[in-house]
Structure 1
Amino acid sequence: MTTPIHWRPAVASDAAALSILGGATFLASFAHDHPGEALVAHIRKAHGEDYYRAALADPAQTILIGETPLGAPVGYALITPPDLPVPTDDRTDVELKRIYLLSGWQGGGNGDALMALVLAEARQRGARRLLLAVYPQNDRARRFYARHDFVEIGELTFMVGDVPFRDLVYARTL
């Protein structure tokens, strides 16, 4: 897709758009190997408007949203204090909890541009390390993170509805 993406910090009025975008990107990313009922339950809970309203109201969290020139949401990233089962330091670590682009906007440098914004936000917060969790079967995401100097440091169980999945924990020094 050649349509440019305009990135900006999300605001409270973006909760509905983030909910739709979050559900759509999660479904598109994992429908191929996650059970439907569990997937829908997860999306309702973890991508509902209430979730994004709370995240947007929390000064410890930042959401960057990307839009087309006409204002259609096509990607986002959620940066939070770390909440992963590895040793962390709240003063120097931040977590990239979510980073997604709709498939039509993947490639062409859009992901790299979003990661650059995430890294800048992490550094602005005084972070020295950026952490994230990734599904081991998501080869495209794992290649993307490797290209951005992330390395595996652990693993966790990620619940999708009532179904457990194994995720890998990655870190990158800033």
Structure 2
Amino acid sequence: MTPIIWRVARADDAPALSILGGATFLSSFAHDHPGAALVSHIRTAHGIPYYEAALADPEQTVLIGETPLGAPVGYAMITPPDLPIATDPACDRELKRLYLLSGWQGGGHGDRIMDLVAQEARRRGASRLLLAVYPQNDRARRFYARHDFVEVGSLTFMVGDVPFRDLIYARPL
């Protein structure tokens, strides 16, 4: 399997993250999300301005994974918590996004990026990692369970103008 080289994303990675974010979101949810809502969501939540702002924010870290030739194939975004449960910004970090293109899923790539996410969250002083996951995404839920995440709540996640229910998971670091 082609290796993935992980690094902290830079400001000039915003266009690549936008393409990667849109592609992975579309491929993950096109099977059961309305098309117009998906496109609307991707245009805003995965637009270049979104990633430019995230990369400029010192409270956020984006890790990008690339092939040895520099093609982006995955990323993870670690942020202060923004979830509708009790959180402590000094102790909690949120794994806002973790996506790999399908051709790079498996082979330990997900485990490697999860290890890097945990290291970054600890470096920022976190003792707990939080995330939201779509309940129908069984593969992601199994992955998070293998990494000791447990359900602690739920939220409404808007995709365009369509509400979806997500589960909130947490794990100690």
Match of 1:101 in 2: 100
Q: CA deviation at 1:107?
A: 0.2
Please give the alpha-carbon distance, in whole angstroms, between the structure 2 residues aligned to 1:157 and 1:55. Answer: 22
Q: CA deviation at 1:98?
A: 0.1
Structure 2 gap segments, 5+ residues each: none
Structure 1 gap segments, 5+ residues each: none
Please give the alpha-carbon distance, in whole angstroms, between the structure 2 residues aligned to 1:110 and 1:28. Answer: 18
Please give the alpha-carbon distance, in whole angstroms, between the structure 1 residues aligned to 2:142 and 2:121. Answer: 21
TM-score computed with the length of structure 2 as normaliser:
1.00
Query: How is 1:16-165 mapped onto 2 (pairs within 5 angstroms)?
Result: 16-165=15-164
Please give the alpha-carbon distance, in whole angstroms, between the structure 2 residues aligned to 1:101 and 1:126. Answer: 26
TM-score computed with the length of structure 1 as normaliser:
0.99
Deviation per residue, 1:99-138 (Å, 9 max, x gap)? 0000000000000000000000011111010000000000
Code of the aligned partner of 1:100: Y
Tell me the SS of whatever aligns to 1:84: coil
Code of the aligned partner of 1:9: V
Count how many residue pairs are aligned between Structure 1 and Structure 2. 173
Q: Aligned-residue CA RMSD in angstroms?
A: 0.2
Code of the aligned partner of 1:107: G
Runs in 1 of length 4+ with deviation above 6 angstroms?
Answer: none
Tell me the SS of whatever aligns to 2:27: helix
Tell me the SS of whatever aligns to 1:38: helix
Identity %: 80
Tell me the SS of whatever aligns to 1:17: helix
